[in-house]
Chains A and B, each alone.
Chain A
Amino acid sequence: MRVLPSGTRGLLLELDSLEEVLERYAALADADLPVLDLVPAGRTILLVGDRDVDLDDLRRRVEQVGPGEHVAGEAAPLELPVRYDGEDLGEAAELLGWSTDELVRRHLAAEWTVAFCGFAPGFGYLVPDGEEWDVPRRSSPRTKVPARSLALAGGFTGVYPRESPGGWQLVGHTEVDVFDPDRDPPALLVPGLRVTFVEAS
């Protein structure tokens, strides 16, 4: 783990893999650190202190937190009802070397974990428990991707929380809003959460 500077209120932890980020994030989230925000990303975790933060002290505390173990929680994974009717389903299946039925079967069979959020409020980047899903982004992004679109790109699956531009391959849509600022909780997909997709009846 490398600790990189991020101004007078932040520290950026750089790790070797996404798995390490998941483990470290779980351990840091449990460690009751004096931080306003813990922001996991693909290879890093940003720690954000308040105005009075003592970064040297924070750094010492972080170094004392063990790498932790990203153990699957006891709670059952969140089941997200989806329909596989996306415009790019065929293309995505072809890129993966599968039939569309095979893509759907594997997407339903995998257990996914929200690794981190970004891009828009409530947009989670989910990684599968088994083999990697290596799907490139579309060569030309769409200017309008509908809200609730279930998509694939760069080893992740995700759901667009609202209509926005986007370059991911659209394979379906969810039956629920993954983000709603008026709901508690506003975001369904939070870092560390396990998710399985179920076909909406």
Chain B
Amino acid sequence: MTTSLRVVEPGPLTTVQDFGRPGRAALGIGRSGACDRGAHRLANALVGNHPTLATLEVTLGGLSLVADGDVVVATTGARCPGSAPHLAPFVLRAGESFELGMPAAGLRTYVAVRGGVDVEPVLGSRATDVLSGLGPKAVEAGDVLPVGVTGRPLPNVDVAPVPEPTNGPLRLPVLRGPRRDWFDDAAWERLTSQAWTVDSDSNRVGVRLAGEPLARAREGELVSEGMLRGALQVPPSGLPVLFLADHPVTGGYPVIGYVDDEAVDLCAQLRPGQQVTFVAARTDPSDPAAR
């Protein structure tokens, strides 16, 4: 009999995530997957899973689970108060439950179970894409999540000492985007000098930013074009949206800049109200002046 986890409470939003569906963007299928890929990878590593197995992405805590067999579990990302250790694998015995409280800092917690969350994959991935609706539906109370099996060894690690998300202002390296020239230098200066505030209307699609809007230097409509996570798209409001995992495949508003892909994981931990500043990367290969 396979082991499973029974969901008592899902919290505000818990979804199953992995590395998503790369390679299908030409069909209009976004990549999706864990917003904080590094935290997802680490959670899997702590329980001896292959990195591609699925974890639970828990938004603002609130998840409560009961195991129906002995399982090895680890949590990474935002540290939640509650019954579980963090950044360290632990055993949950059959019938035992664990609960995640609301994190004091950070937004998304990853829960890996040894063997992976073994729900049915859709187009090669178990990720829930909240924009396209592909993948399993968001986790609900009463769901029974099957747990897979793995023959890989457990790592010889008690605790993973990694930097944790904080509530402080986040400085992010930004590169010139494909439509930097739709904005004048004053707009770029405004992007990189002010402290932006994360809006509560943010989700897995993107982080919405509030601040002094960026004015365009040119009118007209952009023909929709492909985008990646980390894109800073500027809609007519002038307030940028920083795209995360479930971003649309193409967009019709100009992308003024890109956050370095390696730093996008940090953006996935931004909470509403938190401050963000963008720092023009010292060596920007896309800056004509640097060539």
Contact residues of A with B, CB < 8 Å?
4-10, 12, 14, 36-46, 48, 51, 55-56, 116-124, 162, 181-182, 186-187, 190-191
Contact = CB atoms under 8 A, between A and B. Distances in A.
Contacts of B225: 12, 41-44, 46
A162 B28 CA distance: 13
B223 A5 contact: no
B51 to A, nearest CB: 12
Interface of B: 22-29, 31, 122-123, 132-134, 175-179, 223-228, 230-231, 248-250, 255, 258-262, 285-286
Ordered nearest first, which 5 A-B pairs have the shortest CB separation? Answer: A46-B226, A5-B286, A7-B258, A39-B226, A117-B28
B224 to A, nearest CB: 6
A190 B24 CA distance: 10
Nearest to B224: A41
Contact of B26 (A55, A123, A190): A190
Contacts of B28: 117-124, 187
A36 B226 CA distance: 13
B132 A48 contact: no
B177 A5 contact: yes
Given A44-B226, A118-B250, A181-B123, A5 B26 contact: no
A189 to B, nearest CB: 8
Contacts of A12: 178, 225-226
Nearest to A8: B261
A4 B134 CA distance: 30
Nearest to B255: A6
- Residue of B122, B175, B226 contacting most chain A CB atoms (<10 Å): B226
A117 B248 CA distance: 12
Nearest to B287: A5
B286 A39 contact: no
A24 B50 CA distance: 37
A191 B26 contact: yes
Nearest to B284: A5
B108 to A, nearest CB: 20
B52 to A, nearest CB: 14
A6 B223 contact: no
Contacts of A124: 28
B172 to A, nearest CB: 12
B119 to A, nearest CB: 14
- Residue of A6, A51, A55 contacting most chain B CB atoms (<10 Å): A6
Given A5-B177, A7-B175, A56-B285, A40 B26 contact: yes
Contacts of B227: 6, 46
Contact of A37 (B22, B230, B231): B22
Contacts of A4: 178-179, 286
Contact of B261 (A7, A45, A56, A123): A7
A9 B228 CA distance: 8
Nearest to A56: B285
Contacts of B29: 121-122, 186-187
A5 B175 contact: yes
A37 B25 contact: yes
B39 to A, nearest CB: 16
Contacts of A14: 178
